[in-house]
Amino acid sequence: MIFGEQCTRTLKLKNDGALPTRIFVKTNDGRTIPFVNQDDLQKKIDEMNARLAADTPQVDQQELQDSTEAAAKEDNEFAKEGAEEERHRLEKEASRKQIAAFTADPFEEFLAQVQFKRTNEIEGYASTKISFTFVPYKLGPVAQNFTLFMENQDYCSPIPISLEGECVDVPIYVAQEEYNMNVVVYDQFYRDKIILHNRSAQPMKLQLFFPKSFKPYLEFNPTLGYIQGLGQFDIWYKFRPDRTIMTNCQRYLVKQDELPPKDEYEEFTMRIPVKVTGAN
């Protein structure tokens, strides 16, 4: 899901019995799921972080400096050690509290980003749908397990469900993150295509980059183009290595047992990094 957008997924349930029933979405241990508002949750996080910042002790550098200088004048080793220990203690405490910023409970964060009805109804010999709408307010994955409990539990066992999603800030994604050329021999061609998708409704400009040392052996077409909103963009590539590739592109060798191949006649593996950037 793209940050700033939302999506809905629907779970369809079918009742093969004659009796109607109510369906409750609850935690796996049967607890009622509360409603969490995004604005209220963010306000809670901000208040807790402000409270932590206010409680963080500030190191009085002037006071510590004065005490250290006084100890030095007295030539008192115990006084010196005491002032130094106090300085380290205060700095460590301040650093610990600054790092320990308040973050929301993952369960609360999930509920603030996923909207759904906690109670649904289904008639006999009928079907119903439960909609889950993902409205992310932060980047990252979310996941939670729930259980559907029926009012007529004597006739239907609880049904476990799992909800997962992820919010990203870049709408472009690739169908495969790795393309395996398998076994390629010298002076032979290998062809395939990289398939890119656009999650966003807005068209985007794409540009492909790869190491210059591979230009004699690797060709992409095109390296620049536009992908339409909710569309697909194909980039074809052609790979034709020769015996010079091991020398010119040695840094991209995947070493076996930390040893490079002895010569161009020995089998070896290469990993070629390719980057695709997108812009509005």
CB 203 within 8 A of CB 177: no
What would the DSSP string read from start to end of the chain? -BTT--EEEEEEEE--SSS-EEEEEE-TTSPBPPP--HHHHHHHHHHHHHHHHHHSPPP-HHHHHHHHHHHHHHT-HHHHHHHHHHHHHHHHHHHHHHHS-----HHHHHHHHEE--SEEEE-TT-EEEEEEEE--SSSEEEEEEEEEEES-TTTS--EEEEEEEEEBS--EEES-S-----S--TT--EEEEEEEEE-SSS-EEEEEE--GGGTTTEEEE-SEEEE-TT-EEEEEEEE---TTHHHHTGGGEE-BTTB--SSTTS--EE----EEEEE-
pLDDT surpassing 50 at residue 76:
no
Portion of the chain with pLDDT greater than 90, in percent = 51
In this prediction, residue 236 carries a pLDDT of 96
The answer to whether 189 and 239 are in contact (CB under 8 A) is yes
- Residue 61 in domain: no
**Angstrom distance (rounded) from CA 44 to CA 97:** 18
**Is the confidence at residue 58, as pLDDT, over 70?**
no
CA 156 to chain CA centroid, nearest Å:
37
Instruction: Answer yes or no: is 245 within a domain.
Output: yes
What is the pLDDT averaged over residues 64-93? 55
Q: What is the pLDDT of residues 20-35, one digit of tens each?
A: 999 999 999 999 999 9
Q: How far apart are CA 63 and CA 69, in angstroms?
A: 10
Please report whether residue 49 resides in a domain: no
- From 21-25, 59-63, 65-69, the region with the lowest mean pLDDT: 59-63
Q: Does 45 fall in a domain?
A: no
Same domain as 251, residue 211: yes
CA atoms within 13 A on the CB side of 1: 23
The residue from 101, 136, 167 where one domain ends is 167
Name which residue leads in pLDDT, 165 or 84.
Answer: 165
Two structure tokens written together for 39: 């604005």
- Residue pLDDT, tens place only, 246-269: 889 988 988 766 565 555 556 788
Do 160 and 176 have their domain in common? no
CA atoms within 13 A on the CB side of 181: 21
Predicted confidence at residue 5, as pLDDT, reads 83
Query: pLDDT value at position 146?
Result: 97
- In the prediction, which pLDDT does 100 show? 46
**Mean pLDDT for the chain?**
83
In a domain, 126, yes or no: yes
Place of tokens 């010999």: 125
What is the structure's pLDDT at 16? Answer: 92
Pick the more confident residue, 80 or 154: 154
Given this model, what pLDDT does residue 43 score?
Answer: 87
Q: What are the backbone dihedrals phi and psi of residue 242, each rounded to the nearest 5 degrees, phi first?
A: -130, -175
Among left, alpha and beta (phi > 0; psi -120 to 50; other), residue 230 is left
**Both 134 and 12 in a single domain?**
yes
What does DSSP say about strands 127-134 and 119-122: parallel, antiparallel, or unpaired? Answer: unpaired
Full domain range(s) for residue 272: 172-279
What pLDDT is recorded for position 278?
84
Is 135 found in the same domain as 23?
yes
pLDDT of 95 over the 80 cut: no
Same domain, residue pair 191 and 141? no
Taking residues 44-49, what's their average pLDDT? 82
Structurally, the chain folds into a number of domains equal to 2
Could you tell me if 197 and 233 lie in one domain? yes
CATH number assigned to the domain comprising residue 190: 2.60.40
One domain, residues 124 and 219: no
On whether both 133 and 233 belong to a single domain, the answer is no
Percent residues over pLDDT 70 in the chain: 79
Q: What is the pLDDT of residues 99-140, one digit of tens each?
A: 445 577 899 999 999 999 999 999 999 999 999 999 998 889
Comparing 18-32, 39-53, 64-78, 143-157, the range with the smallest average pLDDT is: 64-78
Does 132 share its domain with 213? Answer: no
Same domain, 180 and 261: yes
In this structure, are 183 and 274 located in the same domain?
A: yes
Q: What pLDDT is attached to residue 211?
A: 95
| Residues 129 and 220 both lie in one domain | no
Mean pLDDT comparison of 20-29, 49-58, 96-105, 192-201, highest-scoring range: 20-29
Decide if 237 is inside a domain.
yes
In a domain, 74, yes or no: no
